[in-house]
Amino acid sequence: MSKLLDPKVLMAIKDLSIAAKTTIDGFMNGINRSTIKGQGMEFSQYRSYQPGDDLRSLDWKMFARSDRYYIRESEIETSISVRFVIDASASMDHMDGEFKKIDYATYLTASLAYLTNLQGDAIGLYVLNNAAIFSMTPKMDYQHLSRLYYQLEQIKPQGTFTEPINYKELFAGSRKKELLVFITDLYQSNEEILGFLDAVNTLKHEVIVFHLMSANELSLDFKGYSTFEDLETGQAIQIDQDKARVSYKKNLQLYLEQVRISMLDRGIYYRMLRTDVSLDTALRDFLNQRNKLKV
């Protein structure tokens, strides 16, 4: 794994545009670059010449090297719109070590947006909490990418997840195929996040949910703490971590399985991401789901 995909290294780079480029360059060096295709006609593979093939597709350099005729096959890839949706409720301010969930969400979005721009796709950004809703409709150009970076830097988590709004109107978009990438900690009190996903799911977009969880909440290892405060409600409880850890982990596994099944039932691609691990899993998942939308 490239060190440049390590979140600790990535978040040490304060400039989002540089961090995103550094991350994607490192990612692309570690995979087959043919899986990253730009807009329009892209080279796919060679095959032997067959009678009736268009002679304009012959690769004369291959003929010079091998004394055999080869056809250069290409595939047409249409551009799509990718909407990045960030849960900016107060629970995303949860900290583990040196950074918060919202930091991971920000740098992940910046990296995915840079990769999306390389693909020749339109990018949009939506930041949701109950205090405000920011929306930047999908567009394809480098200046739009720069504006997205700026808006990511302005995110300050607060309140709870947004109350039900006219999601269908907000995310309806055009008739083009769209990919919606939702980055969240799935913290909800009245299934408001599931309500959001049900609303956007009716629009027939491909949906990815990246569920962020920190190492300390997965293991219930908050060194030196016995009192825990809910970042969204302000309620506080006292816990003996050592005594509670076994039952906590058991209940957590049950919860994560319920979440996985809930997403599966909705036809939504779901991935739980630890905020202390490399971004490469999320980047690969994104590419795989994006490729489903190709013609």
Q: With contact defined as beta carbons under 8 Å apart, do 89 and 130 qualify? A: yes
pLDDT at 158: 93
Is the pLDDT at 36 greater than 70? The verdict is no
pLDDT of 2-14, one tens digit each? 444 566 666 677 6
- pLDDT band at 232; cut points 50, 70, 90: confident
Please state, in angstroms and rounded to a whole number, the distance separating the CA atoms of residues 274 and 277.
6
pLDDT at 264: 95
One-letter amino acid identity for 179?
Answer: L
Mean pLDDT of all residues in 166-192: 85
pLDDT of 239-279, one tens digit each? 888 888 899 999 999 999 999 999 999 999 999 999 988 88
Please state, in angstroms and rounded to a whole number, the distance separating the CA atoms of residues 36 and 216.
34
Mean pLDDT score across all residues of the chain:
82
Please state, in angstroms and rounded to a whole number, the distance separating the CA atoms of residues 94 and 166.
28
Predicted TM-score (pTM) of the model is 0.81
Report helix, strand or coil for 244.
helix
Residues of the chain with CATH 3.40.50.410: 3-31+79-291
pLDDT of 113-161, one tens digit each? 998 988 888 999 999 998 788 999 998 887 899 999 999 999 999 999 9
pLDDT of 75-121, one tens digit each? 444 578 899 999 999 999 999 988 899 999 999 999 999 989 888 88
DSSP 140-184: -SHHHHHHHHHHHHT----SSSPPP--HHHHH---SS-EEEEEEE
Domain at 3-31+79-291, CATH from 3.40.50.720, 3.40.50.410, 3.30.1360.70, 3.90.1640.10: 3.40.50.410
Distance (Å) of CA 134 to CA 80, 233, 238, 279, 282: 21, 23, 36, 25, 24
One-letter amino acid identity for 175?
Answer: R
Is the pLDDT at 38 greater than 60? The verdict is no
Measured at the CA of 100, the angle between CA 167 and CA 158, to 5 degrees, comes to 45
pLDDT at 194: 94
Q: Element (H or E) spanning 86, and its range?
A: strand 81-87
pLDDT at 57: 65
Instruction: Please report which residue ranges of the chain form alpha helices under DSSP H.
Output: 7-10, 16-29, 60-66, 101-118, 142-153, 167-171, 192-201, 215-219, 241-265, 280-291
Residue 93: how many CA atoms within 13 Å on its side-chain side? Answer: 14
Please state, in angstroms and rounded to a whole number, the distance separating the CA atoms of residues 87 and 110.
15
